[in-house]
């Protein structure tokens, strides 16, 4: 509306300087902010024979450091490709150009050449960046813990959108792909979510999107 055509975005620094919480606890996660024992997936709702066909992705580990290997995975396979896909779609939807200055290859190479202790120091992630920032802004800000970006999706799914989600989950049961799912387990997980076990809603959103995709097949049939 203001005629701005080029925007700057800050993607890349968490991946370059080990900013996510799972770099600290060395858990094999790809999502920031998941509580211990919480998973973005509920594989038990998938029928066992169908589940057996799945192959867990194995990512390259070209470095001796586990932190560097996790960074490499996030930059080239998981976090960043997903974020850039989102950013590209939303910027193009509004006919704007979105630039990512922190993804300059020289900055990426600089970060990968740095030792792990320059990235993580005690419980401080992105340690070098925080040291630099502390020269310009208060320490309680520059050393504040990283907080996951929270959307109201979790609350919407269990409240305003509850009936819609229930309908979509029921659609899975009566679709041509019904045999993919263990519907008893799926129902129990959904009921557990509604009863307050809702640390994350990633898996619910996966089911809804699967149901919507399946409905396209049904329409085609």
Residue 219 in contact with residue 181, Cβ under 8 Å?
A: no
pTM: predicted TM-score of the whole model, two decimal places = 0.75
User: For the chain, which residues make up each domain, given as ranges?
Assistant: 6-44+57-142, 153-220
Query: How far lies 76's CA from each of 32, 117, 130, 131, in Å?
Result: 17, 22, 24, 27
| Digitized pLDDT (tens) for each residue of the chain, 221 residues in all | 888 999 999 999 999 999 888 888 766 665 655 555 556 678 888 898 888 888 888 999 999 999 999 999 999 999 899 999 999 999 999 999 999 999 999 999 999 899 999 999 888 899 999 999 999 999 889 988 877 666 788 889 999 999 999 999 898 888 888 898 999 999 999 999 999 887 788 889 889 988 888 877 655 45
């Amino acid at each position: 509306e203001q005629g701005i055509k080029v925007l700057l975005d800050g993607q890349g620094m968490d991946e370059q300087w080990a900013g996510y919480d799972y770099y600290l606890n060395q858990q094999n996660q790809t999502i920031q902010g998941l509580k211990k024992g919480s998973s973005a997936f509920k594989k038990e709702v998938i029928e066992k024979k169908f589940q057996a066909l799945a192959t867990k992705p194995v990512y390259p580990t070209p470095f001796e450091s586990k932190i560097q290997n996790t960074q490499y995975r996030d930059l080239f396979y998981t976090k960043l490709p997903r974020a850039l896909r989102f950013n590209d779609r939303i910027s193009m939807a509004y006919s704007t150009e979105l630039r990512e200055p922190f993804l300059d290859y020289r900055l990426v190479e600089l970060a990968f050449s740095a030792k792990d202790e320059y990235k993580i120091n005690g419980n401080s992630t992105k340690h070098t960046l925080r040291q630099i920032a502390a020269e310009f802004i208060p320490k309680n800000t520059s050393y504040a813990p990283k907080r996951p970006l929270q959307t109201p999706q979790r609350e919407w799914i269990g409240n305003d959108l509850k009936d819609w989600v229930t309908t979509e989950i029921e659609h899975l049961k009566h679709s041509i792909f019904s045999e993919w799912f263990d519907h008893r387990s799926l129902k129990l997980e959904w009921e557990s979510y509604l009863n307050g076990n809702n640390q994350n809603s990633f898996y619910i959103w996966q089911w809804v999107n699967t149901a919507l995709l399946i409905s396209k097949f049904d329409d085609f049939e």
